[in-house]
Amino acid sequence: MPLLSNKYLPVYLLFVISIILAITPAVHAEETSNIYFFYGEGCSHCAQVEEFFENDNLYDKYAIDKKEIYFNRDNAALFNNLLDGLEIPSGARGVPTVIVGDKVLVGDEPIINNFIIYADIILQKDDDKTVEPSNVNNAPKPNLTLAAVVVGSLVDAINPCEFAVLIILVTTILASGNSKKALLAGLAFSSSMFISYFLMGLGLYKALGLGAISVWFFQIIGWMAVVLGLFNLKDYFWYGKGFLMEVPLKWRPSLKKLIHSVASPKGAFAIGFLVSLFLLPCTSGPYIVILGMLAKRAFDAQAVLYLLLYNLIFISPMVLISLAVYKGFDPAKAEEIRLKRLRILHLITGIIMLAMGIVILKGWL
């Protein structure tokens, strides 16, 4: 196939694969310790546990790893990852929590009444090398976060909105008769979309991390995915009725006028940032769901890699269409295919978003 021989595609694929390989070992690179004490600043019940530890000199007797999770995103991610490994449901999580080996104590009274009993067992295990170590991290769960990011980005990538914009763009540039210029314009537009969405995602991720991500917030994200799924299914069965999960109709004339003003790759790059704002209503749904999930589940370094991967997959169709047009593919034919497949794309998006919502609400993610 001619596209595979293009010099740009192997580099792009290598970059995507390298990010996946970088994420995979990082996901399970969790700290190991026999005893964790997770607390939140301003939590009165946590303060009682802390007073108990200090009055009984338990910090000196036991290796207690103390971690605040309200304002420290990495600690919050570790908290959820450890409890995921111990199969503790989201609804049963809170602070104060103490993890002693494979035992989980939640609440001030359970911790105060039972901590020394379980901690002494851990201390005895440390002295007796014939005893099997705690299995907290020995059998990590499958990396569903990576799977969710890939699936969510694929849903976003097949969104008909971005296809329509890119086809208008390359058609406009091709009118000059310069296919190379159209290719560079398509790649410039894809690059600016990548930068714009990555920075917006990073900003929202940081904003979500200013406070604790509660169980209720995670439930809201799950229901949001379900609602978006149902709205897309509506567009499959009753396309055009009421509203569309696409660029609002009243915005489209302004959007087309903006794109038709582009005459060069530099202009395409600049216009990509503006177009990304027009596309937010129909492309932000899966992105927000994934960002909410990352804010609760991922460490900062992991989240950046996940966002890079998400947005690389998101712009993949734009890159491929640009290369195809350069090789002679008629953009009018691409627009014809897009229009014929609109309802199917909404159906696929709806089913996947519904599935993601159910997975989140059930606590499987």
Domain boundary among the residues 127, 156, 182 is at 127
Q: What per-residue confidence (pLDDT) applies to 24?
A: 57
Structure tokens belonging to residue 5: 């021989």
For position 96, what pLDDT does the model report? Answer: 92
What is the C-alpha separation between 119 and 125, in angstroms, rounded? 10
Q: What is the mean pLDDT of residues 242-249?
A: 65
Percentage, residues of the chain above pLDDT 70: 67
Q: pLDDT tens digits, residue range 80-102?
A: 878 877 878 776 788 899 998 88
In a domain, 149, yes or no: yes
Q: Are residues 326 and 189 in the same domain?
A: yes
pLDDT at position 17: 65
Write phi, then psi, for 153 (nearest 5 degrees): -70, -35
CATH of the domain at 69: 3.40.30.10
Is 133 contained in some domain? Answer: no
**Confidence class for position 139, pLDDT limits 50, 70, 90:** very low
Q: Do residue 10 and residue 54 come from a single domain?
A: no
C-alpha 50/C-alpha 187 separation (Å) is 56
For residue 54, which amino acid is it?
A: E
Domain boundary among 77, 101, 127: 127
pLDDT band at 144 (very low <50, low <70, confident <90, very high): low
Q: Higher pLDDT residue, 350 or 3?
A: 350
pLDDT band at residue 121, thresholds of 50, 70 and 90?
Answer: confident
> Do 17 and 51 share a structural domain?
no
Cis-peptide into 265, omega within 30 deg: no
Question: Within the chain, what is the greatest distance between any pair of CA atoms?
Answer: 81
Whether residues 23 and 93 share a domain: the answer is no
Identify whether 138 is part of a domain. no
Least confident segment among 54-58, 230-234, 241-245: 241-245
Q: Which of 66, 101, 127 is the last residue of a domain?
A: 127
Based on the fold, state whether residues 246 and 323 are members of the same structural domain. Answer: yes
For residues 123 and 155, state if they share a domain.
no
pLDDT at position 1 is 38
Task: Determine which of 24-33, 72-81, 163-172, 275-284 has the lowest per-residue pLDDT on average.
Answer: 24-33
**Model pLDDT for residues 269-305, shown as the tens digit of each residue:** 887 787 777 776 666 778 888 887 787 766 777 888 8
Q: Is residue 160 part of a domain?
A: yes
Task: Please count the structural domains in the chain.
Answer: 2
The region that residue 57 occupies, defined by phi over 0 for left and psi between -120 and 50 for alpha, beta otherwise, is: left
Same domain, 251 and 223: yes
Q: Any idea what the Cα angle at residue 149 is, between residues 145 and 152, rounded to 5°?
A: 130
* Separation CA 193–CA 315 (nearest Å): 7
Cα dist from 309 to 19, 152, 192, 246, whole Å: 6, 11, 16, 24
The pLDDT value given to residue 123 = 67
Q: Answer yes or no: are the C-beta atoms of 286 and 228 closer than 8 Å.
A: yes
> At 198, is the pLDDT very low, low, confident or very high (cuts 50, 70, 90)?
very high
pTM of the model: 0.64
Q: For the purposes of burial, counting CB atoms within 10 Å of the CB of 246, is it exposed (0-12), middle (13-18) or buried (19 or more)? A: buried
